[in-house]
Amino acid sequence: MNATLEMEADVKCDLERCGIGKTGLQVGSRLLDGMKAILFDMDGVLIDSEPVHATCISSLAEEMGGRALVETELLTFKGVPDREVAAGLMRLFPESGREASAVMKRAFDLFVERFSLVRLISGAREFAVAAGEAGLRLAVATSAAPSMQKMAFDAFDLNGLFETVVTGDDVKRGKPDPEPYLLAAERLGVNPAECLVIEDSINGVRSGKAAGCRVVGLTTSFPKEALIAAGADGVVGAYGG
């Protein structure tokens, strides 16, 4: 898929000068000028899991409330911690009588059942390797639980690429709060202003911007217009050149 880059008015660069190229984000991108670290989201940025998550959440909604979720409802669950997914489903279907821990466990079980459908985002691992070799510090800040993060890292050979991983269990306030990205930057010992965040969701973009990071949106889950409106400094459709 050809990538496009949309820059807000205060970011004065075109495709060629930004080093994005016509096919995706590269380590030589102008968006990385002055950056010391890259902070990756996981779902939708490293692994193509959002459609699987959506199916799991909708299936769980049918179990709890007898109906699948409509698209607008599903969008509210993108990029949020598992405990907030559970809380949202409990608000929608209070008559289910399920406790948060039971909802979270069932959501995880459904994801495990469908995990074979998850794929690595094309070019993601290669980009991370190239960024590390270029001297950039790398971290992950995901809303996923540690069990989901470990399963993905083991399956797609991502262990050892990142200096630190922040999961949904590491923070009190998940995205769009800045805490996940602030914690990732703190663990690396890098100023947030010197970190590039790569995000696919509106909540994730808002989290990165609120943390004071530069943010590039990846159009795996939301259209470029929505990511720009959320505050992304640039938007691409893929990795690579």
How many residues comprise the chain? Answer: 241
Q: Which residue has the tokens 């902070």?
A: 39
The answer to whether 170 is a known catalytic residue is no
CA distance 28 to 20: 8
Alpha helices in the chain, H assignment, sequence order:
15-18, 50-65, 71-75, 82-92, 100-113, 124-133, 146-155, 179-188, 202-210, 224-230
Angle at 137 between CA 190 and CA 215, to 5 degrees: 75
Query: Which neighbouring-strand residues pair with 6?
Result: none
Tokens of 16: 């060629």
Q: Do 14 and 22 contact (CB within 8 A), yes or no?
A: no
The β-bridge relationship of strands 137-141 and 119-120 is: unpaired
- DSSP category for residue 233: S
Residue 173 token pair = 């306030």
Q: Considering 14, 41, 82, 177, which one is annotated as catalytic? A: 41
Token pair of 47, please? 């692994």
Q: Residue 47's closest CA among 103, 128, 110?
A: 128
User: Active-site residues: which are they?
Assistant: 41
